[in-house]
Amino acid sequence: MKYLKYLFFFTLLVANLNCSNDDKASDENGINTSGNKKNTGSSAHGFLASDTYQSLVIEISYVEGFRPNTQTLINLKQFLENLLNKPNGISILEKQIPFPSKTVFSLEDIAEIEDANRTKYNDSGILAVHLLYINGNFESDTSSSKTLGTAYFNTSAVIYEQNIQELSDAINEPNRVDLETTVLLHEFGHLLGLVDLGSPMQNNHLDTAHDKHCDNESCLMFWKVENNGVLQMMTSGIPQLDANCLLDLKANGGK
């Protein structure tokens, strides 16, 4: 039986990566990137409310052959429009990037690929997100454990599309759009501060055995989205955020 595992990094590894990027807060064009190199969840209010950012731009970089399905991006936009107060709208930009020189990646490798290809950063009234769709595997993957995605900065996430393709569209597997959407929305849930990561809990629903995840077994933010349990969770389609998660987002400035 295939076993898949999504890794969400809120550990010292990310803290060290954040510190290393603070030293290069501006790129060669003089663009200040420090606002996009913070801890995951720290921009939750900025995503949800409109007092600082009135629009959201999502920049997607993908390797040839690993572009997300169009319907997946439609699902993402609808998900965000239902949750975020962005009166000036949400836009999605896409571009194909060159194949990396390797096929096994560390988190530092992923951040370097982002730095080489990202062009959109926070600006006046505009919050910018970068999503990387990549080939290959995360360095800790094994034949029975595959990483599907990681939210690693406040406005950055990587999706291991090759692994998603290998785990979908076959007998007893979810269809690809549903699996892509589930992983992507789960990642965005962490960027939005779930669970107790930047959007304070209104009711205690933290799964203490699986930090930063919801204790509701049918919720999009349940920990089993990270492993082969997600296949059973998706028998009725894409898991949804439960009432407690939605309440946290609304209390932090969301709709």
pLDDT greater than 90 at residue 172:
no
Task: State pLDDT tens for residues 152-169.
Answer: 999 999 999 999 999 899
The token duo for 153 is 């900065």
Residues in the chain: 255
pLDDT of residue 223: 84
Mean pLDDT of the chain, nearest integer: 88
User: What distances in angstroms separate CA 24 from CA 16, 110, 111, 227, one per listed residue?
Assistant: 14, 16, 13, 35
- Residue 6 is assigned to a structural domain of this protein: no
- Residue 5 is assigned to a structural domain of this protein: no
> Measured on CA atoms in the order 103, 97, 126, 247, is the torsion positive or negative?
negative
Beta 149-153 vs 156-160: how paired, if at all?
antiparallel
- Residue 116 is assigned to a structural domain of this protein: yes
Reported as a pLDDT band with limits 50, 70 and 90, residue 10 is very low
> Measured on CA atoms in the order 13, 227, 48, 58, is the torsion positive or negative?
positive
Task: State pLDDT tens for residues 57-115.
Answer: 999 999 999 999 999 999 999 999 999 999 999 999 999 999 999 999 999 999 999 99
DSSP string, 75-132: HHHHHHHHH---TT-EEEEEEEEPPPS-SEE-HHHHHHHHHHH-----BTTEEEEEEE
Which of 11-20, 147-156, 171-180, 242-251 is predicted least confidently? 11-20
With the CA atoms of 249, 89, 66 and 183 taken in that order, what torsion angle do they form, in degrees rounded to the nearest 10? 10
Reported as a pLDDT band with limits 50, 70 and 90, residue 236 is confident
Mean pLDDT in residue range 193-199: 98
Of all helices (H) and strands (E), which one includes residue 230?
helix 229-233
The token duo for 59 is 């920049």
pLDDT greater than 80 at residue 27:
no
pLDDT greater than 60 at residue 15:
no
pLDDT greater than 60 at residue 8:
no
- Residue 1 is assigned to a structural domain of this protein: no
User: Exposure string (b/e) for 167-193, b if CB count within 10 Å is 16 or more?
Assistant: bbeeeeebebbbbbbbbbbbbbbbbbb
Mean pLDDT in residue range 165-193: 93
pLDDT greater than 50 at residue 4:
no
pLDDT greater than 60 at residue 7:
no
- Residue 166 is assigned to a structural domain of this protein: yes
- Residue 43 is assigned to a structural domain of this protein: yes
The CATH number of whichever domain residue 66 belongs to comes to 3.40.390.10
pLDDT of residue 227: 63
pLDDT of residue 228: 58
pLDDT greater than 90 at residue 56:
yes
* Contact of 216 with 233, CB cutoff 8 Å: no
- Residue 7 is assigned to a structural domain of this protein: no
Number of folded domains in the chain? 1
Domain range holding 61?
12-251
Distance of CA 132 to the CA centre of its chain: 9
